[in-house]
Amino acid sequence: MVEAELTKRYGTREVLSLATMSVRPGTVHALVGENGAGKSTLVKIIAGTVRGDGGTLRVGDQSIDLARWDRTRARAAGIGIVQQHGASAGTLSVVENAVLGVEPGGWPLIDLAETRGKLRALGDEVGLPVEPDARTDELSLGAAQRAEIVAALHHGAKLLILDEPTAVLTPIEVEGLLATLRRLATEGRTIVIVTHKLDEVRTVADDVTVLRAGKTVATFSTAQGPLEVAAIARAMVGADLPTVERLPAPPATAPEALKLERLEVGTELAAITLTIKRGELVGVAGVDGNGQRELALSIAGLVTSRGVVSIDGRDASQLSPARRLAAGLAHIPEDRLHGGLLLDATVADNLALARTDITGRFVIDRARVAKHAATQIEELDIRPPDPSAIVRGLSGGNQQKVVIARELSRPSLRAVIAAQPTRGVDLGAVVRIHGRLRAAAQAGAGVLVISADLDELLALCHRIVVLLRGRIVGELDGEQLRRPDAREIIGALMTGVELAADGDPYLQASGRVSP
């Protein structure tokens, strides 16, 4: 049992105001709320990685002294946390990260052999396979997250806290992870999952706590009946979410906005040929680590590549990243922390980053920067609504809104690369971000959406192509995306599983047919 009633301030801003959460042992407990609601702060205090300013915390029958509570004491109490952006040392291997602070045999005589074997066996057992000797900074985001989950279990976590654990997983992997969480709860562990995906909440959770503006505003439990997604969503945002229809596809005669011809990056991306028309939204699905990162970076000119990238009919292959942006390209990187933001700069300055149309070329026009920031903060509901706030102090979802606002407000937009545009953001932010992507397409841009969230691609896109081992292995469009088995077909393409055609013309044409 975990009982929390916590307060936390950063400067004059109160992030948690006696927010409460009661977690029953042997259950899966979902913590939901809008970005900036205080979810991550609440679980970090429980896990000992952030110090609470006041309130109470009980773990089992122990009353916790918040002034002395830290990660070491939390781990000793059986609490493990896997954070949204990871906490591993990138230059170390998976097994080396797993033993940091708890080195078997003691420093300097560290014996990794036993830990290596246990990690591999545990990963296989729970359906989250890991390679213990792989360097963490060479892993995909999904693989790194899986390694941290396995390491936490290896350390004996009885209460396992997961922050957005399915954000980088395929539908098949999500199903496997949720089944694993249910099994772990059945076996006696307690799971707290911070998530924005309410279908997953309904699937896996026993209890739900809803935070809004740092306060607990609602709780739900299966003990009172089935969880209702609409009621949880209403509690999160204080209103019903609007429904948005898919945009009509552009005509076949529409001009090309973005064209890739035999685009290659080392051994990671092989001969990608793809055309996106003005007004078209094209999705890229695939298991994380199958070339999506290289695809986005090569279009943006941030890695060395071979082949041709054309923006609005102009060969941009030899242009610098800055020149490509000037030619009408917008790039929303998959890793906002390392590729999209200056964390110690203000919201206003990040919104104007690489935007000479806002700043001016030689002397920064502070009035224009401030006006642009105020407009974007209002349109995307960036919180706190303060242009002078330092970006590092924002929640992950609000940091993402800053990147989205900067890139999609560029003038003369011709093509957009949106890599994981809604990873880790709340329902209200998803609606706003999807609205901005649709608006970009309606204004005549071609939009390439690279996402591990298949529901996102199905909701947004006119076409979906699937990457596997750096190659396009299939494509669905139009009526094919509305097939009842579209998810199954895309999932099979993503994982290389072959389906029986049984006379199905799409499966026969795709080549994904069992012999």
Specify the pairing of strand 54-59 against strand 62-63.
antiparallel
**Alpha-carbon span 437 to 434, nearest angstrom:** 5
CB 163, CB 194: distance < 8 Å: yes
CATH number, domain 2-237, options 3.40.50.880, 3.40.47.10, 1.20.210.10, 3.40.50.300: 3.40.50.300
Please give the residue that has the higher pLDDT: either 446 or 105.
446
Task: Give the confidence band of 164 by pLDDT, cuts at 50, 70, 90.
Answer: confident
**Alpha-carbon span 185 to 15, nearest angstrom:** 30
DSSP-derived letter for residue 513 is B
The count of other CB atoms within 10 Å of the CB of residue 120 is: 18
Task: Give the confidence band of 256 by pLDDT, cuts at 50, 70, 90.
Answer: very high
Place of tokens 């000037």: 326
The count of other CB atoms within 10 Å of the CB of residue 304 is: 10
pLDDT at 245 over 60: yes
Beta carbons within 8 Å of 167's beta carbon, 6+ residues apart: 84, 420, 423, 424, 452, 453
pLDDT at 269 over 90: yes
Specify the pLDDT at position 513.
39
Specify the pairing of strand 215-221 against strand 62-63.
unpaired
Specify the pLDDT at position 106.
57
Please, what's the b/e burial string for 309-328 (b: 16 or more CB within 10 A of its CB; e: otherwise)?
Answer: bbbbeeebbebeeeebbbbb
pLDDT at 113 over 70: yes
**25-59: pLDDT as tens digits:** 999 999 998 877 899 899 999 999 999 999 999 99
| Cα angle 109, 114, 115; round to 5 | 90
CB 343, CB 337: distance < 8 Å: yes
State mean pLDDT over 125-147: 84
pTM for the whole thing? 0.73
| Cα angle 268, 274, 275; round to 5 | 150
Specify the pLDDT at position 512.
45
Please, what's the b/e burial string for 359-393 (b: 16 or more CB within 10 A of its CB; e: otherwise)?
Answer: beeeeeeeeebeebbeebbeebebbeeebebebeb
Place of tokens 């552009």: 250
Q: What is the CA radius of gyration of the chain?
A: 23
Specify the pLDDT at position 285.
94
Specify the pLDDT at position 79.
96
pLDDT at 476 over 90: yes
Specify the pLDDT at position 460.
94
% of the chain residues with pLDDT over 70: 91
Specify the pLDDT at position 455.
84
SS3 content of the chain, % helix, strand, coil (to 5): 35, 25, 40
User: Max alpha carbon distance in the chain (Å)?
Assistant: 69
CB 451, CB 295: distance < 8 Å: no
Strand order in the sheet with 13-23: 13-23, 2-10, 54-59, 62-63
Q: What is the dihedral of CA 79, 212, 36, 233, to 10 degrees?
A: 90
**Alpha-carbon span 154 to 123, nearest angstrom:** 9
Give kind and range of the element (H or E) at residue 299.
helix 292-300
**327-348: pLDDT as tens digits:** 999 999 998 988 899 999 999 9
Q: Structure tokens of 65?
A: 């002294």
Specify the pLDDT at position 479.
84
Please give the residue that has the higher pLDDT: either 171 or 218.
218
Specify the pLDDT at position 274.
98
pLDDT at 2 over 90: yes
Q: Structure tokens of 174?
A: 């999500």
State mean pLDDT over 116-136: 90
Distances (CA, A) of 95 to 129, 151, 218, 249: 13, 8, 40, 48
Specify the pLDDT at position 52.
95
Task: Give the confidence band of 110 by pLDDT, cuts at 50, 70, 90.
Answer: low
Specify the pLDDT at position 291.
94
State mean pLDDT over 382-386: 91
% of the chain residues with pLDDT over 90: 61
Q: Which of 75-79, 366-370, 426-430 has the lowest mean pLDDT?
A: 426-430
DSSP-derived letter for residue 167 is T
Task: Give the confidence band of 103 by pLDDT, cuts at 50, 70, 90.
Answer: low
Give kind and range of the element (H or E) at residue 440.
helix 427-442
CB 325, CB 503: distance < 8 Å: no
**Hey, do 2-237 and 256-328+410-510 end up sharing a CATH topology, with the first three levels equal?**
yes
Strand order in the sheet with 415-419: 329-332, 415-419, 446-450, 281-285, 463-468, 471-477
Please give the residue that has the higher pLDDT: either 314 or 358.
314
* Highest-scoring range by mean pLDDT, 356-360, 458-462, 491-495: 458-462
Mean pLDDT of the chain: 89
Domain ranges of the chain: 2-237, 256-328+410-510
Q: Show contacts of 376-379: CB within 8 Å, 24+ apart.
A: 376/351, 376/402, 376/405, 376/406, 376/409, 377/347, 377/405, 379/405, 379/432
State mean pLDDT over 402-428: 92
DSSP 389-414: SBGGGS-HHHHHHHHHHHHHT-TT--
Task: Give the confidence band of 87 by pLDDT, cuts at 50, 70, 90.
Answer: low
State mean pLDDT over 145-171: 85
Q: Which of 26-40, 178-192, 240-254, 371-385 has the lowest mean pLDDT?
A: 240-254
pLDDT at 75 over 80: yes
pLDDT at 453 over 90: no
Place of tokens 């393409």: 493
Q: Which of 114-118, 172-176, 360-364, 475-479 has the lowest mean pLDDT?
A: 172-176
Q: Which of 60-64, 129-133, 267-271, 362-366 has the lowest mean pLDDT?
A: 362-366
CATH class of 256-328+410-510: alpha beta
